Amino acid sequence: MKYSVSALPKVNRIKKKLHVALQKAINDEVEKIAENPYIGEPKRGDLVGVWVHKFKHHGLLYLIGYLIDDKAKIVILVGVGPRENLYRDLKKVSAPLVLASAY
């Protein structure tokens, strides 16, 4: 069953600033995640509960960070971008969301 996809406002702001071809590539990867949310890899440590899907666009590695809610059949996008700053940004955003999704 296909999951519905929701994104944090920050993710939408980041996507708007990207090149149109990269936006399309991200949308294609998000569709893959909606079909099978477990396509990514689960993170450990500070990011437990967050999943990250990696993909390449024009030779550069990009990541999409997301949370999975199996009960509601929804995927919540919490981060997108190159690896350098994504994990730092995910630590800021994901802790409250992971705790909230546990209830």
Query: Which pLDDT score is estimated for 40?
Result: 96
Query: Which pLDDT score is estimated for 91?
Result: 79
The CATH number for 75's domain is 3.30.2310.20
Q: Using an 8 Å Cβ cutoff, are 30 and 5 in contact?
A: yes
Q: Using an 8 Å Cβ cutoff, are 4 and 74 in contact?
A: yes
SS3 72: coil
Q: What is the pTM of this model?
A: 0.87
- Residue 100 exposed, middle or buried by CB count within 10 Å (0-12, 13-18, 19+): exposed
10-residue mean pLDDT profile of the chain (103 residues): values are 93 94 97 97 90 95 95 94 82 60 47
Query: Which token pair is 72?
Result: 């509601």
Question: Most distant CA pair in the chain: distance in Å?
Answer: 40
Domain that holds residue 86: 4-101
Query: Which pLDDT score is estimated for 89?
Result: 80
Domain count of the chain? 1
Query: Which token pair is 31?
Result: 């569709």
